[in-house]
Amino acid sequence: MSAVFRAARGGLGGRKLQAVIIGLVVLVATAASTLALGMLADAHSPFDHAFASQNGADVAITVDTSVASAAQITAATKVKGVTAVAGPFASENVAAQVSMPGIGGTITNPTNFVGRSSPGGPVDDLALQQGHWATSDNQIVISSNAPGQVGSTITVGKQVMTVVGVANSVTNTADAWVLPAEMNAIAGSAGTGQAQLLYRFSSNATSTDITSDINEVKAALPSGAVLGGPGSYLDIRTSEQSGIAPWVPFIIAFGVIALVISVLIVVNVVSGAVVAGTTRIGVLKSIGFTPLQVVACYVLLAAVPAVTGAVIGVVCGNLLAAPLYRQNAQVYQVGVLGVPFWVDLAVPLAVLALTVAAAVGPASRAGAMSPVQAIATGRAPKPKHGFFAQRLLARLTGVPRPVTLGFASPAARPGRTFVTVVAVLFGAAAVTFGVGLATSLNHVYDDISGLPVQVMLLPPGVTAPPRPIAGGPGKATKAHKIIVNGGPGGQSLTAAQEHAITTDIAATTGTLHYLSVVHDNLSLPGLGDANGGAQVTAYGDGDPSWSGRALISGGWYSQSASFPEIDVNTLFLNDTNTAVGDTYTLVNGAHQVTAKIVGEVFAPGNGVGIYMSPATLTAIDPTVTGPGSYAVSLKPGVNADAYASALQSTLGDSYSVNTYGGGDKALLAVVTLVAMLTLLIITVASLGVLNTVALQIRERAHDIGIFKALGMTPRQTLTMVICSVGITGLVAGIIAVPAGILMHHNVLPAMAHAANSGLPASLLSVYSAPEMVILALAGLVIAIAGALAPASWAANSRTATALRTE
């Protein structure tokens, strides 16, 4: 084997560029595969991964400190089955006034405060997402689910605290955290004296286990000491998983694309490197190397730089994973996601195995040739490939010769060209898919929220905050909701208030239509009550289509139909085993109404939604009062902020009018993740092209040197190399558009199904003809971007250097 090692060492020393190319492509493939496989692993039960990483609490129990003594609370932390406990932490549930920086005014929000000296601990390790932990008594850290942001102020009584951080508790154990000393002031302002205990138990797999664990804790405390219902992680897990499910399909799609491209570029570059050394294989055979020694030599030539690339690649993959997984965690609404250890171990080993396999095939074929045949094959491709294409294209007299030489180049190595086309195709398809997905998601949030402007009746003593200055073009072609609710405490709008509001809405410039809206919750046959029963919405004073809600099928109910009509969401149809066109009997105690289902409304989620006229709702629930909100359609081009400002001025300070982006934070997180994943795949595909072109230039150095000696200019050389990949990129881009659209049309329904909904046709028809033409150029852009650097090197290299490089 000493001869094999000497030959491999000599090959590495004489072909440094080739070794660098193999190392670089393995590095890129390992980093991308680490990211992609880790993302796929996290997509399977992300809550469970975060729960384990953050030492989530199996149970959170709140104890009344006026009933249980400190000794009794301490004893409750040592009951049977406890494996870890945190606390007792001082805890209070009080109403807090939250103000937003730069806006003014306040929002009253019931808040669960907990006093903790640090975010870490044996149970419920908090993940800081923004800012830092509180370092003084006037600082506070809020939950990622709580209103407010870094810089907001939160007031409880006379205590004014500044938000300095945003953190995630995987089991939502609190809304805000302060230092323990600050809890004394909060308790003195409005508290009752509570302590929070966070537990992890040895038996926690089922609800029966958790109930038994809770009973053990209750038995160690005086009767009445445990306040409310102790929170179980199983309930939160079920809720989180249903919220996470819609995002999993597209993350899996991107992860699979990244893995496939990584495999393709490794196979393409490594096998190409071995094929480029066919001449040297012939020389080795002529001095007595056996086929097995040839294979061993070239496996070593590929494996040595591959090992370096794999080790560095897995490190780079983990470094790159930090921002990507942080964004992924926001989408999943969990605190921490990371690359599992088994991924860090499996990916480099798999890439190394792939490298060896890619080298063995062509090395075995070349090793089986005679020395003369191997040397001849290595000097030039088979005539039936590149030469035929070059002669055919040479007849195009009107096309510059560098262009025809470039266009003919892919035919010289059809296998390598095919793999390159497929790799670029996957990258360009990811662009088409990503653009369509982002557009559809924007439409989804428009359809389920209507981009509302909120108008809220404020409680006595609280004035409306000043509205920000409105400007710029309007975003008002869709319906906007003007929500006029009773204030905190449940006070309802009077008839005079309703009249004043509708008069002001009608008089405000920009109003197109408005609807009165009544909300109700009913327990109905065939429907579970887990999410508060059926969520009923009644639109009155106009056509319900003005609400901006999208329909999946059917039409909207008629206000004047002789037979009651209703629209429902997909979950209603699934739970009741009904379809559009069927009748359904609404039963509420002694009241019942049989109605015809005339349409399926796009309203994803875990709640059953029913839409009906106010008359139908009154018939089924006579206790319902008048409208609590108004949905307004604005005229095209009307700016929503300017409209809200004008309406605020008209209504006065008794109402708070604000543009409302209910899905803005979630939408931004998802679209940002889509953009990051698309950019990752484009980068991997471009680097694959770069390495392939660099290998081709190294392989064709002799030909390029001859072309330069015959008078080819640097610009012509650059054109030739760019054209050699441009044609493959263009073909790949054209094929990628229908492939990306097909992926979009399959992944989006899977996301909707996970959200218990069908899809309106409008959410799938998001690609316009001009947009598809532009997207078809994505493959060309990826190919040229990857080829530009090696092409520039070839163009600027000296003739003698090119001839000697062979």
| pTM for this entry | 0.71
Q: What is the C-alpha to C-alpha distance for residues 722 and 707, in angstroms, rounded to an integer?
A: 16
For 410-424, 448-462, 483-497, which range has the lowest pLDDT when averaged over its residues?
448-462
Residues 6+ positions from 709 with CB-CB distance below 8 Å = 799, 803
Percent of the chain with pLDDT strictly greater than 70: 77
- Taking only the tens place, the pLDDT of each residue in 421-464 is 888 888 888 889 888 888 888 777 766 554 345 454 444 444 44
Tokens found for residue 734? 């054209």
Which candidate, 53, 27, 611, 40, places its Cα nearest to that of 324? 40
pLDDT the model gives residue 459: 45
More confident residue, 467 or 328: 328
Q: What is the C-alpha to C-alpha distance for residues 96 and 157, in angstroms, rounded to an integer?
A: 8
For 265-274, 580-589, 680-689, which range has the lowest pLDDT when averaged over its residues?
265-274
Q: What is the C-alpha to C-alpha distance for residues 666 and 663, in angstroms, rounded to an integer?
A: 5
ω into 88 cis (within 30 of 0): yes
For 68-82, 186-200, 403-417, 486-500, which range has the lowest pLDDT when averaged over its residues?
486-500
- Torsion sign, CA atoms 645, 650, 655, 661: negative
Write down the residue that tokens 């690359």 correspond to.
339
Q: What is the C-alpha to C-alpha distance for residues 213 and 204, in angstroms, rounded to an integer?
A: 8
Residues linked to residue 659 through DSSP beta bridges, in sequence order: 453
Strands 591-601 and 565-569: parallel
More confident residue, 279 or 227: 227
Name the region of 577 (left: φ>0; alpha: ψ -120 to 50; beta: rest): left
* Local structure of residue 694 (DSSP, 8 states): H
> Among the residues of 103-206, which ranges form H helices?
180-190
Which candidate, 153, 109, 106, 160, places its Cα nearest to that of 137? 160
Residue 742 pLDDT level (bands cut at 50, 70, 90)? very high
Q: What is the dihedral of CA 48, 49, 52, 55, to 10 degrees?
A: -90
Residues 6+ positions from 431 with CB-CB distance below 8 Å = 678, 682, 736, 740, 775, 778
pLDDT the model gives residue 477: 39
What are the strands, taking DSSP E only, across 501-634? 511-522, 534-540, 551-554, 565-569, 583-588, 591-601, 608-612, 629-634
Helices and strands (H, E) in the chain, number of each type: 26, 21
Q: Decide: 716 and 402 in contact? Cβ < 8 Å.
A: yes
Distances (CA, A) of 443 to 603, 667, 766: 13, 10, 9
Tokens found for residue 523? 């327990």
- Cα distance from N-terminal residue to C-terminal residue, the chain: 27
Q: What is the dihedral of CA 211, 212, 218, 220, to 10 degrees?
A: -160
Coil, helix or strand at residue 156? strand
Q: Decide: 162 and 131 in contact? Cβ < 8 Å.
A: no
Tokens found for residue 354? 């792939």
